[in-house]
Amino acid sequence: MTSTIENQRAPFPIAFYRSAVGKKWAMAVTGLAIILFTIAHMIGNWKIFFPDVDGIPEIDLYAEALRGLLFPLLPEHVVLWIMRTGLIVVFLLHIHAAYSLTIMNRRARQDDYAGPRQYIAANYASRTMRWSGTIFLAFLLFHLADLTWGFQPMAPEVWERGEVYANFVATFSRAPVALLYVVAMAALALHLYHGAWSMFQSLGVNHPRFNLWRKGFALGLAVLVFVGNSIMPISVLFGWVG
SS3 state of residue 19: coil
Q: Does 101 bind another protein (CB under 8 A)?
A: yes
- Using CB under 8 A as the criterion, what x/- string covers residues 163-202 for binding another protein? -------------------------------x--xx-xxx
What residues between 207 and 236 interact with another protein by CB under 8 A? 208, 211
Which of 54, 55, 110, 209 is in the footprint of another protein by CB under 8 A? 110
For the stretch 9-14, contacts whose Cβ atoms lie closer than 8 Å and that sit 24 or more positions apart, written own/partner, are none
Q: Does 107 bind another protein (CB under 8 A)?
A: yes
Which of 19, 128, 134, 235 is in the footprint of another protein by CB under 8 A? 19
- In angstroms, how far is CA 229 from the centroid of its own chain? 12
Q: Does 204 bind another protein (CB under 8 A)?
A: yes
Q: Does 3 bind another protein (CB under 8 A)?
A: yes
Which of 11, 54, 55, 112 is in the footprint of another protein by CB under 8 A? 112
Amino acid at 125: A
- In Å, what is the CA distance from 91 to each residue of 58, 121, 141? 29, 28, 12
**Shortest distance in whole angstroms from residue 16 CB to another protein:** 5
Q: How far apart are the first and last CA of the chain?
A: 54
**Shortest distance in whole angstroms from residue 29 CB to another protein:** 10
The answer for 86, left when phi > 0, alpha when psi is -120 to 50, beta otherwise, is: alpha
Nearest CA-CA partner of 31 in 124, 141, 136:
136
Q: What secondary structure does DSSP assign to 101-132, as a single string?
A: HHHHHHHHTSS--SSPP--SS--HHHHTHHHH
Q: Are 202 and 24 in contact (CB under 8 A)?
A: yes
Q: Does 9 bind another protein (CB under 8 A)?
A: no
Q: Does 115 bind another protein (CB under 8 A)?
A: yes
Residues forming the site for another protein (CB under 8 A): 1-4, 7, 12, 15-16, 19-25, 101, 104-105, 107-122, 126-127, 129, 194, 197-198, 200-206, 208, 211
